[in-house]
A and B are shown apart, each in its own frame.
Chain A
């Protein structure tokens, strides 16, 4: 068992290349899903006797049906550009966490069975047999990749390493080895509607409780509507927004913005989850099933628009795949983006001048912003290239006086993962999460030294939870990570609200 992050390396620089530590993370594995969890998703409950044939069949199937997968396996020239780009490599020093090396765990098997040279001269071309040890090695190292795609930005061939990780996890599920964390959650979304397992009655009670808080704080009745047919907007947000800190403060921010914009909106108890963990395990069928819940909710509620809350992987699936998975959305109002991000909505309202904002209400903190990986590298916001970088910053700057960016090589398209994305936000990987988060934390520490930054804002439920857990290791309070809409919520003065009636956060 690896240390619980107690051997964290002190980094001088966020991208400092570590001394190699061969085997440092060997054998690190998240809990394996039980047969009940696996079978609930239609996967074998445990390793099937003919696992080798089935794994190779699945690989052949992926190569045949996913051109990108085959191209990625064939084109790598081992140039080395990606070697030092992974936060898990930087944090652990384990050479198998170099993206090229991690990919080669699968590529070497592909070569052995699917290329001429590998079939006849395996040793010459680095091809190897598929054995049970290899499967276990896949399970370990393909759960030390958060599918953040930072390495892909630097690959001259554009190889998307995340796709290799997803394929490996897909093959593993196919032969009966699944990850407990992701697969249990996918089951809950498909059975109940969200990752948490929050049923409609509990969801309604939570929202009513929050409405009370809002009224106590502001003196204004701000609603958090649930399942209201005929609303204009359906808000799809991560269920962490109904449960965790600081996520809930973001939810209150969305509600205040909608209230001031005077639009009718609703949440859905049927599609009460934005995140799509089908992406994490590389399984299209589950990704589609989760996406279809959103379509059904939108149709049943008769909404005209779909807006997504602060959730990184959700936005990737929503922005890039929603139409393919669950479209066409011809029943929605075509004059609005389908789907729209809550930040696009809020930025629009700020530009229109709908919101009364008092920036000084955030003067007690000095902010920086963490670009969430899947928003930064796999999507866009607004009409301009780079909108996914500028719109969140524009909103933050409109509600805060003290904003400072982290070092440029760790932001925008080069952003570092929080260390908990892609299905790794589980307690059994805490050691890996702390190490993988250390490059980002080092960048934050630099910004604190240079500009006195006290807080970091994020727009992803995973980032928020991950940072609130690991920040104490790096000298910050756990509430030093904030939702962007929490900042908006702090700054908004609601129509009719007495200026001194608001209780500030913090």
Chain B
């Protein structure tokens, strides 16, 4: 199970989350998004970049509410809401966006 990016191979688990987080790249994000039927635009990148920054500081993805609050600040209330997040990432801003951002899948009763 692997993604192919620029001639190199990046391993992923059964659900498409990459196994070595250091192997993430913007090109890889595009490839993962493609496999999820998402075409990355500026808004998608805003979310992905926030998730990566947050992860770098806290070693875990933020609560959905924390993500939305940040997006609200940067992109305004029309886009900073749960509904819009699901329009961007139909399988959920937490799980699907984390997958594209190269982060581990949030686990538990979520």
* Cβ contact within 8 Å between B109 and A195: yes
Q: How far is the CA of A30 from the CA of B69 in the complex (A)?
A: 34
What is the number of residues of chain B that contact chain A, defined by CB distance less than 8 Å? 21
Q: Judge if A194 is at the interface, Cβ distance under 8 Å.
A: yes
State whether A198 touches B14 (Cβ < 8 A).
no
Whether B66 pairs with A206 at a CB distance below 8 angstroms is yes
Give the residue of B59, B69, B104, B106 whose beta carbon is less than 8 angstroms from that of A199.
B59
1/0 contact trace for B13-45 toward A, CB 8 Å?
011000000000000000000000000000000
A355 within 8 A of B: no
Which residues of B are found within 8 Å of A243, using beta-carbon distances? Answer: 63-64, 94, 106, 108, 110
Smallest Cβ-Cβ distance to A204: which chain B residue:
B58
Are A427 and B15 also in contact (CB < 8 A) when A196-B60, A209-B69, A245-B64 are? yes
A185 touches B60 (CB 8 A): no
Contacts of A184 in B (CB 8 A): 107
Q: Is the CB of A275 within 8 A of B108?
A: yes
Q: How far is the CB of A240 from chain B (nearest CB, A)?
A: 4
Q: Report chain A residues within 8 Å CB of B66.
A: 206, 209
Cα-based distance from A209 to B70 in the complex (angstroms)? 11
Measured in the bound complex, the distance between the Cα atoms of B106 and A243 in whole Å is 9
Please state if B58 and A196 are interface contacts (CB–CB under 8 Å): no
Asked if A239 is at the interface of the complex by the 8 Å CB criterion, the answer is yes
Instruction: Pick from B59, B69, B82: contact of A202, CB below 8 A.
Output: B59
Nearest B residue to A469, CB-CB: B92
**Is B86 close to A, CB under 8 A?**
yes
Which chain B residues border A188 with CB–CB below 8 Å?
Answer: 107-108
B64 touches A195 (CB 8 A): no
CB-based contact B110/A465 at 8 Å? yes
Given A199-B59, A478-B86, A238 and B109 touching (CB < 8 A)? yes
Is A428 engaged at the interface, CB distance under 8 Å to the other chain? yes
A197 within 8 A of partner (CB): yes
A31 part of interface (Cβ distance < 8 Å)? yes
* A242 B63 Cβ-Cβ under 8 A: yes
Q: In B76-110, which residues have CB < 8 Å from any A CB?
A: 82, 86, 94-95, 104, 106-110
Chain B residues with CB below 8 A from A180, complex form: 14
Inter-chain residue pair count (beta carbon < 8 A): 84
A478 / chain B contacts, CB cutoff of 8 Å: 86
A37 to chain B: closest CB distance in Å?
11
A239 and B64 CA atoms in complex are apart in Å by: 13
Given A243-B64, A245-B64, A248-B63; A194-B58 close (CB under 8 Å): no
Write out the residue numbers on chain A whose beta carbons fall within 8 Å of the beta carbon of B108.
185, 188, 194-196, 238-240, 243, 273, 275, 461
Residue contact A240 to B60, C-beta cutoff 8 Å: no
**A124 partner residues in chain B, CB cutoff 8 A:** none
A288 CB to nearest B CB, Å: 20
For the complex, give the distance between the alpha carbons of A427 and B105 in Å. Answer: 11
Chain B nearest Cβ from A150, distance in angstroms: 20
A31–B94 alpha-carbon span in the complex (Å): 20
Specify the chain A residue showing the minimal Cβ separation from B62.
A206
Shortest Cβ distance from residue A4 to the other chain B in the assembled complex, whole angstroms:
11
B15 closest partner in A (C-beta)? A427
Give which listed residue, A238, A245, A479, contacts B65 with CB less than 8 A. A245
Complex CA gap A468/B64 in Å reads 14
Give CA–CA (A462, B107) in the complex, Å. 12
The residue on B at minimum CB distance from A248 is: B65
Task: Kindly provide the distance from the CB of A309 to the nearest chain B CB, expressed in whole angstroms.
Answer: 12
Given A31-B14, A206-B66, A479-B82, A425 and B60 touching (CB < 8 A)?
no
**Taking each of A184, A242, A245, A311, which has the highest tally of chain B beta carbons within 10 Å of its own beta carbon?**
A245
Nearest-neighbor residue (CB-CB) of B14 within chain A = A31
Our pick among A31, A195, A201, A242 for the contact of B107 (Cβ within 8 Å) is: A195
A399–chain B nearest beta-carbon distance, Å: 22
Contacting residues of chain A (17-34) with chain B, CB-CB under 8 angstroms? 31
Question: In angstroms, how far is the closest chain A Cβ from the Cβ of B105?
Answer: 9
Q: How far is the CA of A403 from the CA of B106 in the complex (A)?
A: 34
**Is there a chain B Cβ closer than 8 Å to A79's Cβ?**
no
Residue pair A197, B109 in contact (C-beta under 8 Å) = no
A205 at the interface (CB under 8 A from B): yes
Residue on B nearest A464 in the bound complex, by CB? B109
In the complex, what distance in Å separates the CA atom of A197 from the CA atom of B109?
Answer: 12
| A64 in contact (CB, < 8 A) | no
Find residues 188-229 in chain A having any chain B CB closer than 8 Å to their own CB. 188, 194-199, 201-202, 205-206, 209-210, 213
Given known contacts A244-B64, A425-B109, is B58 in contact with A202 (CB within 8 Å)?
Answer: yes
Residue in chain A with minimal CB distance to B55: A202
Q: Which residue of chain B has the shortest Cβ distance to A34 in the bound complex?
A: B13
Given contacts A181-B107, A199-B60, 6 further A-B contacts (CB under 8 A): A180-B14, A185-B108, A188-B107, A201-B58, A242-B63, A428-B14
10 contacts between A and B (CB under 8 A): A194-B108, A199-B58, A199-B59, A209-B65, A238-B108, A239-B108, A245-B64, A245-B82, A275-B109, A461-B110
Could you list which residues of chain B lie within 8 angstroms of chain A, going by C-beta atoms? Answer: 14-15, 58-60, 62-66, 69, 82, 86, 94-95, 104, 106-110
